[in-house]
Amino acid sequence: MLEGRPAPSPVASASPGVHQRAVASDRMSSAAVEPPEAGDAPPRYGPDDPERFINRELSWLDFNERVLALADDPTIPLLERAKFLAIFSQNLDEFFQVRVAGLLDQVAAGIRHRTFDGRTPTAQVREVAARARILVDREERLFLEKIAPELAANGIVLSSWEELDDDDRVHMVGVFEDRIFPVLTPLAVDPGHPFPYISNLSLNLALTVRDPVTDERRFARVKVPSLLPRFVVMPDGERFVPLEQVIAAHLDQLFPGMVVEEHVAFRVTRNADLTLEEEEADDLLAAVEMELRRRRFGRAVRLEVDARASSEVRELLMRELDVDEHATFDHVGPLDLGGLWAVHALDRPDLQDEPWPPVTPRRLSAPEGEKFDIFKAISDGDILVHHPYDSFATSVEELIHRASRDPKVLAIKIALYRTSGDSPIVRSLIRAAERGKQVAALVELKARFDEANNIEWAKLLEEAGVHVTYGLLGLKTHSKVVLVVRDEPQGMMRYCHIGTGNYNSKTATLYEDLGLLTCSPALGADLTQLFNYLTGYGRNVRYRNLLVAPHTLRPGIVDLIQGEIEAGPERGRIIMKMNSLVDPQMIDHLYEASRAGIEIDLIIRGICCLRPGIPGLSETIRVRSIVGRYLEHSRIFWFANGADGAPLVAFGSADLMPRNLDRRVESTVTITDPVIEAQVREVLDVNLADDTLAWTLSADGSWEPIKGEGSVHAHERFRAMALARTRRLEVED
């Protein structure tokens, strides 16, 4: 037997390897709810039946399946399909680190409380494991049977060590000795060397080595360095060999004189959620830094292992990492396909999306030869920007950049939830503070997986003299707002930006978002109140054009839904676009509106716990999802009678989830400019007309792609609209 801790009672009796995975997959998938046969009547659920809701975790897995479907779409360029495989893999990593980890914590604590859809934590863990296993199997088949062969046919070969010829191997020996071997640390397990700590999401090799003299066998582990590229590139620049295979081919140098009997790759996912007792933390910055260090030692929630692993090695890993069969995933393909980002980065325009550089709307640029004044442009009328089609750099970043240099600007205030590693906005804030302007930045330290980045920026901002605060006790600040105060001849002017996306120059090129640039006195007063609330103290803050969570957003949306019910089925209409719809109370209000005959269209990119099309409950509700080239990220709410019988449109930072409505500071702006309202409504109309990217949700919880003629492609249409805005304005000028 290999050395390790004494084995506890067996977790499962199934044999390991490929056969075990197939048996487990079949066993677990049978536990999932089978969708009704085609043509079956829609299910009927009463207003108090928990089955009227779709489970949150299973709905998220459905979303990730829609991402996976993009990797299987032959109409998408090949390297983009490889990118979607990488996104799918990384999405699943985060899901296990946070959502599954939370469920396992509940199981360990003996919690049996049922979710609003009627499931216990234990039931959710089992269903999630079964569903995730099916998706991982599909991901591997897609990679091995389609993506990898098609890449090879196009000159991008993901080679194994066995496929290399003698000259290739000579080259790889040099690479190993020069760049890889010096950073490797073999760790053996024996009475003097306990089982090593396996860090979160690290790729590792598990080995059994035998001493040919004593015939003693030991387990050993070699960590694949994360700082080295995931794939080693051959001199021709077209072939890639997984780093772990290069290491495995040279194990004799790590264990000289030993016989390596077995080596397999494995990977561990750990609980990575933060647990903060804010009431007991005198210094939130120090508390978050401490929790980030603790995160490294979170409980193991998933074990991924090469399907060729022997039962001995597999059981030892499960035992030492304290995971069971539900949390153990056997892989026949490479582990961590998130490494395909390196392949996507190749310079192969023939296999990638056509570049769509963002445009600058004419309102945000000056005629040739003239100096552009962004403050005059905003004072001439509100401006809507639609990223990534409209440039983030020449709109939002330009506002803050100009404000940092303009001697008339007295103050800049901003809420930062996530920002990029090399942030032009943060540099502008530092410059403004150094020039003596009043600069206040609310930096949300608890932005998941961006905590370390935000801590670094917070320290730099404080050193420059920026007034940095970290939000309110017990709440995350998720608002996307900027306020610039400028001294002008007519008095103090307040220039505002409020949006749906983060102040992050990188994600602004990848995420679809809306932003409003305005000097509206009413909105300026609202943002002044909001920032005073965030940085100071206050109760019963009143706003004119903002709905702010956790105080006015929930009741405000409920009132708007009730207003449509009162308007009646002939005049009532609701359209909502968001990332996720989870809140059971909000869903029940939408069900109530549907029972009143109100037509409702929901555009939900990710999680949707509402069941549409159920007789007597939701038969007037339609749900669609758009997943494609850009991550649909904007949150928009449209009510046909929301403004005293006239349409009302609002957009902002909040999804309809309990955390957004009750545990975060969120800002949603109601639009008063009819031109901006029409532009936002056009965004909704394109989403509703799309018959290329869209999926629809059925009453049974299944998602199906819309089988249209492909006449409307939302992302292409938005690109064309952005170009048309610049040309139209040029003609007008």
CB 659 within 8 A of CB 475: no
Catalytic residue list contains 478:
yes
3-state helix, strand, coil in the chain (%, to 5): 40, 20, 35
b/e sequence 61-87, b meaning 16+ C-beta within 10 Å: bbbbbbbbbbbbeeebbbbbbbbbbbb
Task: Quote the tokens at residue 596.
Answer: 């009143």
Catalytic residue among 263, 386, 401, 478: 478
Task: Quote the tokens at residue 210.
Answer: 């035998």
How far apart are alpha carbons 296 and 197 in whole angstroms?
A: 10
How far apart are alpha carbons 161 and 233 in whole angstroms?
A: 12
Name the residue among 714, 500, 629, 616 with its Cα closest to residue 42: 616
How far apart are alpha carbons 283 and 286 in whole angstroms?
A: 5
Name the residue among 584, 643, 577 with its Cα closest to residue 606: 577
b/e sequence 165-190, b meaning 16+ C-beta within 10 Å: eeebeeebeebbeeebeeebebbbbe
Positive or negative: CA dihedral 156, 159, 163, 169: positive
Q: Give the contacts of 46 (CB within 8 A, at least 6 positions apart).
A: 52, 617
Cβ-in-10-Å burial (0-12, 13-18, 19+) of 12 comes to middle
How far apart are alpha carbons 454 and 324 in whole angstroms?
A: 35
CB 343 within 8 A of CB 82: yes
Beta bridge pairs of residue 157? 239
What is the SS3 assignment for 226? coil
Residues recognised as catalytic: 478
